[in-house]
Structure 1
Amino acid sequence: MSLRIAVCGIHIESSTFSPHLSGTADFDVTRGQALLDRYDWLGDPWAAEVEWVPLVHARALPGGAVEPAAYDAWREEIVQGLADGPFDGVLLDFHGAMSVVGREDAEGDLITAIRGVIGPEPMVSAAMDLHGNVSPTLFAGCDLLTCYRTAPHVDVWETRERAARNLVEALRRGERPHKTLVHVPVLLPGEMTSTRVEPARSLYARIPDVEARPGVIDAAIWIGFAWADEPRCTGAVVATGTDAAAAEQAARELGQAFWDARDDFAFVAPTGSMDECLDAALKEGAARPYFISDSGDNPGAGGADDVTFALERMLARPEIRDGSVRAVYASLFDPEAVAAVGHLPVGAPVSVRAGGRVDARDPGPLLLEGSLEAIADDPDGGRVVSVRIGGLSVFLTSRRMQYRLLESYRLLGVEVSSVDVVTVKIGYLEPELYEAAADWMLALTPGGVDQDLHRLPYRNLKRPIFPLDEDAALTFDPR
């Protein structure tokens, strides 16, 4: 049977506590064959005899809420593309934690617009991040929903393939799947729910066995997104199946297991203030390289990427300032500072204020006085420079980026293995950094993705919710 399936999505994770706004320039947009080329499974036998119709896919590094005009333009492009139907199905490739300025439940708004043009008959399958959110509106509009099963996310493309395969198989069966949603009133940062460690490791390890049961198509667990203040932000479990009772049992079981483990979640690494982390890193005999996560301003979760608090604390250490300790700070987003020094010859003295232009919390812009150490063009950060101050290399970028790949350090002349201390704006260490680190700590620094959720000014969450409320409780009202 020949099928016609549209492919589209808007993929971003948005912190409503970050002053950064995500606009069109922050997104990489693909259309046409370039969009289809992202999926290497299109030539597999199960995907044969399917006409995959690319509409538009926009993807950005996590950031602040999306500007309405950017979102509206991509939503309209998706709607107009779907108007050229008919379609048997839609593959939605998105994150699930997008916020749009002045709106609530952006993905719910998107699925509503999609259903408004395709109607109730075509099937919709969503591939999502496990840090996304499943609102009642999104759940109602989709026939199949699945998400990553690892954090850090090493199964992104497998998840997209699973969502597509489940959609094709359901369409060929000609039967709409049964589905069950259980909301779990838990809201935790990703750094407490990594699948590298317990209890998330065992919780997610249960999924393949549950999914293999007769009558079950897919089972998925969403941690939810802690840095957006919306009612939909909470843990969730969705199970889909060819048998309604089997799907409901799977969702109830995994939802209960998630709830039962709530007190066991802990940070994936030792934590402390920035000064406490520096004390550990600079202690005689500390393993090298020693990594410190500047977690509160992590651009990989939506931080502005220019809070200077952690850098100021590093510059206050005399052993770093005098060069006794070799250190790296990666990085500060500041295109103005890059432009001010990027035309100078390497080795030239520099004096430039950097950081604190987007998220101006204390101490705000810092005066960096040193020498221009390196200049490069980074595929993620654009024009980037390194300013050397004593033993410290301070990376400045023209675009917000996360220094998660060792090659990005090499572009600025740094072999991480030869450095004593690396402070990086990140949460849990991504795979390459995790392998490179001899030891590490997670600094509980200020920023738009503050790890201490009790410090965040929530107003719109559905309460009670763990760990913010002692009276939170799991109740089964499966949809």
Structure 2
Amino acid sequence: MSRPVIAIAGLGIESSTFSPARTEAPAFHPRRGADVLTRYPFLAPGQPLRAAADWRGALVGKALPGGTVTGPAYAELAAELLNRLGDLGPIDGLWYDIHGAMTVEDLDDAEAELLRRIREVVGPDVLVSTSMDLHGNVSRELVHQSDLITCYRMAPHEDAMETKERAARNLVDLLASGAPRPVKAWVPVPVLLAGEQTSTRIEPAKSVYAAVEEVEAGEGVTDAAIWVGYAWADEPRNRAAVVVTGPDPDAVSAGAERLARGFWEARHDFEFVAPTGTLDECLDAALASPARPYFISDTGDNPTAGGAGDVTWGLRQVLDRPEFKDPSGPTVLYASLPGPAAVETAVRAGVGATVTVTAGAEVDDRHAGPLTLTGVVHAIRHGDRDAEVEVVLRVGGVHVVLTRLRKPYHHEHDFTDLELDPRAADLVLVKIGYLEPELFAMAADWKMALTPGGVDQDLTRLGHRRVRRPLFPFDPAMPDPDLTARIVAPSAEPLTGPDE
């Protein structure tokens, strides 16, 4: 029997509608053709899954979380993706690798709409397996257009590649079996919480997500998934959801309802993954603590949740603290603040020079204006994929990382590449939410500062107006919802009724 032909396509980004930033096509760093396969170690030559099918890359683009995607950017990328799929010829399956929280100007439910257009190109008989981030959003339309659908089970996402491999393997197995399309049980859960409140490092999310594997292991079930949803966008689809797929309608329905009830019943128990406070409270605690290095998350402008990255409010508070003005005082690392002109000035001056530069608030100036600072150029680095150019400016005891373009700082080498030693620092402030694994392992202690920005952790003050209500926590006294499983029709059949 010949190997099935499987195409790979998708666009992925988290888009905060509460950020003034806009995302353009180059931010997706699209890979095309055979280069798509190099994204996935389990599809490397010699791997069993690579040999199980004829894999053909169309276009896969993944962007750093940011603002709403512009209409022209989406149109450009979608058109190329569809054209490349059409050029592949007949296919048996499609692996749709997305994030699930992409917001596009004047378009709701962008991933479902793109998949609908993909089906117009590849035809209704092609089997589609969709893989997602658990912070994506799952409308009934997206489930309708997919045959298999799954998401990460860990936050932070240490199982990201494992999830993608599961989605690809499930598709190969379904094609090889010749079995009918799976039954899909979908339950929307009217809860919308930030990822920092639903980390699987702690309860109740740890137990809520542990139940996913138990459901998946049941007879008649192929896959099970819980999506937390994406809290910083304002669309009707933004909420938690459960989908269970498999050949047995009773099994998938029972499993989906079990997972949905577990999530709903735990809604009041979700807490932030670390102690929180104002930035001043966090700084006071850090200075009073003997724990070193002490990490503080500047959460409101986290670029890996969709923040613009250039809010100056947090850094301004740090530099105003008298404890940090003396170079012989506590060593503080702050990552980071975009400032293209500031970076250019520092590069021209060179390491060791004293410069006065202005950076930040070019995109998001709602909370503080551009920040002028004078300091010594400590390090310069060229060639980063996201930042392009990085500069460290030492201002008193604070080592400020300035970038040409915004960049997340998740790894130890992000600092050591800039001649900074986070393990020897007193305080490390990072624009992030929950600490990524390397930072978490490094931190002797840690707090989350509830700071302003496009991904403000205080969801109720952001101003959601288009989400479906009632919705927890916006309506804390809402009645219990209908958590009955909805069996979603196959894509070849019409989808009727409201996307409730």
For the 8 Å contact 2:359–2:370, the answer to whether it is kept is yes
Cα shift readout 1:103-162 (whole Å, capped 9, x = no counterpart): 111111111111222222111100100000001111110011000011100111111110
- C-alpha contact 1:280 1:286 (8 A) present in aligned 2: no
Match of 2:38 in 1: 37
Q: Does structure 1 conserve the Cα–Cα contact (< 8 Å) formed by 2:8 and 2:96?
A: yes
Aligned to 1:4: 5
- Whether 2:374 is the aligned partner of 1:369: answer yes
Give yes or no for contact 1:132–1:223 (8 Å, CA) kept in 2: yes
Structure 2: how far apart are the matches of 1:143 and 1:205? Answer: 24
Q: Quick check: 1:35–1:56 contact (8 Å CA) kept in 2? A: yes
User: Deviation at 1:47?
Assistant: 4.7
Structure 2 counterparts to residues 74-473 of structure 1, below 5 A: 74-84=77-87, 85-174=89-178, 175-283=180-288, 285-323=289-327, 324-377=329-382, 378-469=384-475, 470-471=477-478, 473=480
Q: Which residue, out of 68, 81, 91, partners 1:65?
A: 68
Residue of structure 2 in register with 1:475 after alignment: 482
Give the secondary structure class of the aligned counterpart of 2:36.
Answer: helix
SS at match of 1:127: strand
TM-aligned CA deviation for residue 472 of structure 1: 5.0
CA contact 1:4–1:87 (8 Å) conserved in 2: yes
SS at match of 1:181: strand
Query: Are 1:54 and 2:57 counterparts?
Result: yes
Q: CA deviation at 1:208?
A: 1.5
> How far apart in 2 are the matches of 1:331 and 1:472?
43
**Aligned-pair distance for 1:46?**
4.8
1: distance between equivalents of 2:471 and 2:64? 28
Paired residues of 1:145 and 1:163 also in contact (CA < 8 A): yes
- Residue type matched to 2:99 in 1? H
Cα shift at 1:31? 1.2
SS in 1 for 2:41: coil
The equivalent of 2:24 in structure 1 is 23
The answer to whether the 8 Å contact 2:257/2:484 transfers is no
Cα distance between partner residues in 2 of 1:275 and 1:148: 35
1-structure distance, mates of 2:337, 2:106: 28
Distance, in Å, in 1 between the alignment partners of 2:60 and 2:97 is 8
Residues 185 and 473 in structure 1, CA contact (< 8 A), matched pair in contact too: no
Letter in 1 for 2:372: L
Cα distance, 1:440–1:245 mapped onto 2, change above 3 Å: same
Deviation string 1:1-33 (CA, Å, 9 cap, x unpaired) is 321111011011110101111112322111122
CA distance in 2, matches of 1:132, 1:460: 17
- Residue 251 of structure 1 and its aligned partner are, at CA, apart by 0.4
2:493 alignment counterpart: none
> How far did 1:83 drift?
2.3
Deviation at 1:287, TM superposition (A): 0.8
Give the SS at the match of 1:83.
helix
Which residue does the alignment assign to 2:496? Answer: none
**Contact map agreement 1:128 1:147 (CA 8 A) in 2:** yes
| Superposed displacement of residue 49, structure 1 | 4.4
Q: Distance in 1 between matches of 2:470 and 2:308?
A: 29
Q: Which moved more, 1:128-137 or 1:28-37?
A: 28-37
Confirm or deny: 8 A CA contact 2:339 2:358 kept in the other structure: no
8 Å contact from structure 1 (residues 465, 472) kept in 2: no
Secondary structure in structure 2 of the residue aligned to 1:462: coil
**Quick check: 297-306 or 79-88, which moved more?**
79-88
- Assess if the C-alpha contact under 8 Å between 1:185 and 1:472 holds in 2: no
Contact 1:376 1:383 in 2 (8 A): yes
Alpha carbons of structure 1 residues 379 and 76: separation in structure 2 relative to 1, 3 Å: closer
On the 8 A contact 2:336/2:400 being kept in 1, the answer is yes
Question: In 1, Cα distance between the equivalents of 2:53 and 2:26?
Answer: 33
**Code of the aligned partner of 1:337:** A
In the TM superposition, residue 69 of structure 1 has moved relative to its aligned partner by: 1.5
Deviations 1:185-217 (A, max 9, x none): 110000000110001111111122211111000
Distance in 2, matches of 1:199 and 1:49, equals 38
* 2:222 aligned counterpart, secondary structure: strand
CA contact (8 A) 1:47 1:168 kept: no
C-alpha distance in 2 between matches for 1:332 and 1:421: 17
Please give the alpha-carbon distance, in whole angstroms, between the structure 1 residues aligned to 2:386 and 2:248. Answer: 45
**TM-score, normalisation: structure 1:** 0.98
Instruction: Specify every segment of 5 or more residues in structure 2 that has no aligned partner in the other structure, as ranges.
Output: 487-500
Q: Which amino acid aligns with 1:313?
A: Q
Instruction: Report the more deviating stretch, 288-297 or 374-383.
Output: 374-383
State which drifts further: 316-325 or 138-147.
316-325
How far apart, in 1, do the equivalents of 2:411 and 2:479 lie?
Answer: 39
- 2 CA distance for matches of 1:333 and 1:473? 45
Query: How many residue pairs are counted as aligned between the two chains?
Result: 478
2:70 is aligned with what amino acid?
E
How far apart, CA to CA, are the structure 2 residues paired with 1:388 and 1:325? 12
Counterparts of 2:70 and 2:345, CA distance in 1 = 28
Q: Secondary structure at the match of 2:29?
A: strand
